[in-house]
Amino acid sequence: MPSVLQLVFLFFAAVTVVGALAVVLVRNLFHAALWLAVTFLSVASLFIVLNADFVGLSQVIVYVGAISVLMLFAIMLTEDVVGARGLSLRSAWPAALPVAAGVCVVLVRWFARYAWLPPQPPKPGGTAGTIGLAFIQKYLFAFELASVILLAALIGAIYLAKEERS
């Protein structure tokens, strides 16, 4: 008899699969972006169920909160994408089907060779404290260096965009 935690995991796994299928099968691009947000949210829920709260919440903030909203705005601001014509992907099916079947065969063979260990119960508590300590003790310099590089890239992009308009 599966535990409640396993049933919750299976529920979110099913929602993830259904959402991912809906992303590629719906005809309306706007609806596909909404299904993508549902898929991102269910993946974040899987991480939280697996006691990886930091990764799950990061998934919600970055993917559900930022990427999905950005994609929805891009779709809504693009001309003739949400209109009556929409996008037709019918011509891609003959090429996509063998590729998808090949990927499925490779994944099934890879999973069949993998030595599956019995699941370990999750450790009590979250991962945010552990990640925070490691960040402060080991990775602070690298993070600050990356932030300075990204700031320089942002300033350069603003400068180039401003020159282009002038």
Determine the Cα–Cα distance for residues 152 and 149; give it in Å rounded to an integer. 5
Q: Is residue 133 part of a domain?
A: yes
Q: With a cut of 70, say whether residue 163 has pLDDT above it.
A: no
Q: Is residue 116 part of a domain?
A: no
| 21 and 76, same domain (yes or no) | yes
| 74 and 132, same domain (yes or no) | no
Mean pLDDT across the stretch 82-102?
Answer: 70
| 20 and 70, same domain (yes or no) | yes
Mean pLDDT across the stretch 42-47?
Answer: 93
Q: Is residue 137 part of a domain?
A: yes
Q: How many domains does the chain have?
A: 2
| 28 and 78, same domain (yes or no) | yes
- Out of 42, 73, 89, a domain closes at 89
Q: Is residue 111 part of a domain?
A: no
Q: Is residue 108 part of a domain?
A: no
The predicted pLDDT at position 106 comes to 93
Which residue range(s) make up the domain with 154? 128-166
Give percent of the chain above pLDDT 90.
22
Q: Is residue 14 part of a domain?
A: yes
| 24 and 77, same domain (yes or no) | yes
Q: With a cut of 90, say whether residue 44 has pLDDT above it.
A: yes
Provide the whole-model pTM.
Answer: 0.59
pLDDT band at 122 (very low <50, low <70, confident <90, very high): low
Q: Is residue 161 part of a domain?
A: yes
Question: Residue-wise over 11-27: b if at least 16 C-beta within 10 A, else e?
Answer: ebeebbeebbebbeeee
Q: Is residue 154 part of a domain?
A: yes
The predicted pLDDT at position 10 comes to 93
Q: With a cut of 50, say whether residue 86 has pLDDT above it.
A: no
CATH of the domain at 35: 1.20.120.1200
pLDDT, mean over the chain: 81
Query: Over the stretch 1-16, which tens digit does the pLDDT of each residue have?
Result: 878 888 999 999 999 9
Mean pLDDT across the stretch 89-93?
Answer: 68
The predicted pLDDT at position 9 comes to 92
Mean pLDDT across the stretch 47-73?
Answer: 84
